[in-house]
Structure 1
Amino acid sequence: MFIGSYAITMDAKGRMAIPAKVRDTLASVCEGRLVVTAHTEERCLLVYPEPQWLDLQPKIEALPNIHRKARRMQRLLLGYATPLELDGNGRVLLPQTLRDYASLEKKLMLIGQGKKLELWSESGWRQELDTGDDDESMPEEMLSLSL
């Protein structure tokens, strides 16, 4: 559903205009209703169409929170989850807590990831592209969970 990358801007109030191509897809998939939350491994935000989030949320809640990584995942994904809706101009207002988490300022990158999008600061995205992978082991339950 969501592919491509888009350079976008955010105003001083935290509003950002969703590109028309993405906005059209969001309108057809979720009538402009989104859930935005923190990424668990990188300092960016995950943007889900509401139906995708509603499918994913029970899986996150069902993770075995006895494991520290699973607990952290739940805290970030559920704790930062914020329902949002596109306004009449195709904009969304990001709460300050989400902007702070991802160090978002004026210049942003919106990155399609299939069923969801990622929202990065422009500098954070460039740094991510230049960073190599680290091979960290994860619990089997997390490997089977597609975020």
Structure 2
Amino acid sequence: MFRGTVQLKLDDKGRIAIPAKYRERLREQCGGRLVVALGLDAKTNKEEPYLMVYPAPVWEDVETRVNQLPSTSKQVQRFKRRLIGNAEDCDMDAQGRVSLPARLREKVGIDREVDLIGQGNKFELWDRETWAQENSEPEIATELPAELTSFSF
């Protein structure tokens, strides 16, 4: 499981160094094969200001589920195009670095300082300033979504 927040910096070649505490797990789980995808809100199909980084086997499960959605709806077709069409295979090198595609970095405004946010089975990558703003904004919704009303911890 990937959890917590780690501050990283892109190098001059557009790479991040995966934190050491996750490297061995990623090598065991997927041989360092990762998929980087554009963050999307599944309910609105709007781009979000972050990248998602999946171990390849986890991404393959996501992609399989997405491809099982009915293609008769234009909204579903658009969602598939945005999600799968904006996903790139990226390999972790021997030093634990991953090159982030410039096209995806530019879409979400990742320039130099990056926050890696653990999300259980994947990571999110945020521009540090954008993540700070996201964390400082008060919750907009006044009611919890139905999925969270019975959740306790």
Shorter-chain TM-score tier: 0.7 to 0.9
Contact 1:26 1:49 in 2 (8 A): yes
1:67 deviates by 4.9
Q: Does 1:84 align with 2:90?
A: yes
Q: Which runs of no fewer than 5 residues in structure 1 stay unpaired? A: 136-147
TM-score, normalised to structure 1's length? 0.84
Alignment size in residue pairs? 135
In 2, the alpha carbon distance for the partners of 1:91 and 1:133 equals 36
In 2, the alpha carbon distance for the partners of 1:118 and 1:72 equals 22
1:121 deviates by 0.5
Alpha carbons of 1:63 and 1:120: their partners in 2 closer, same or farther (altered >3 Å)? Answer: same
In 1, the alpha carbon distance for the partners of 2:5 and 2:34 equals 18
Which residue type is aligned with residue 15 of structure 1? Answer: R
Identity of aligned residues (%): 41
Mapping of 1:1-80 within 5 angstroms? 1-41=1-41, 42-65=48-71, 66-68=73-75, 70-80=76-86
**TM-align CA RMSD:** 1.8
Secondary structure, aligned partner of 1:38: strand
Secondary structure, aligned partner of 1:88: coil
- 1:118 corresponds in structure 2 to 124
In 2, the alpha carbon distance for the partners of 1:60 and 1:30 equals 21
Q: Does 1:94 align with 2:104?
A: no
Secondary structure, aligned partner of 1:12: coil
Contact 1:35 1:49 in 2 (8 A): yes
In 1, the alpha carbon distance for the partners of 2:140 and 2:32 equals 34
1:23 deviates by 1.3
Q: Which runs of no fewer than 5 residues in structure 2 stay unpaired? A: 42-47, 143-153
